[in-house]
Structure 1
């Protein structure tokens, strides 16, 4: 990744594309993603940070995919899914049983 514009994470536009979770959870997801992006430049490391934070706070088993270009089709637990952008990065976060 290495995009210097990510140094200003709080300023990046956040866009939620699809959601099935509480407002509290979605706010935590966005805040966690911004923290991950401010301390990591590799997409895999950003995804790992977000996944670990959600596993800790909301119990296992969360999955996180981060990138600029990917397709997906997933099954998730009810009220445990969000797909959003922070700046140029798409973040897909969901929980399975």
Structure 2
């Protein structure tokens, strides 16, 4: 495991969910090497899917950007040492019919 405490940068999760995310990250770092961020992310995602239902996404790494839409109460970004963790449950805003009319169809694109 990486040395150091987890530092939560942004979250809107309940405290219990936050603690579970931090505990799962620590557990993942005990199981996997820090050079295996995909496996760490997969482990955390699967655990949250089992506990809170499908739709969770997890990104782990030392250098990444993000811009995501998430369900309210389902977002946390934290660091342990130099490793950053982004865990969220995705959400989609349904497009209005006016917005759908601006999306070109295949037929319109080929015309």
1:39 to 13, 23, 31: 31
Higher relative contact order (CA 8 A, sep 6+): 1
Aligned: 1:70 with 2:60? no
State the partner residue of 2:107: none
Residue ranges of structure 1 left out of the alignment (5+ in a row): 1-5
- Specify the SS of the correspondent of 2:43: helix
Alignment of 1:80-95 (within 5 A): 80-95=74-89
TM-score calculated relative to the size of structure 1: 0.87
TM-score calculated relative to the size of structure 2: 0.77
State the partner residue of 2:47: 53
Larger radius of gyration: 2
- Runs of 4+ residues over 6 Å off in structure 1: none
For each residue in 1:34-61, what CA deviation from the matched residue of structure 2 results, as whole angstroms up to 9, or x when unmatched?
0001101100000000000000001111
Count of residues in correspondence between the two structures? 89
Give the root-mean-square deviation of aligned CA atoms.
1.1
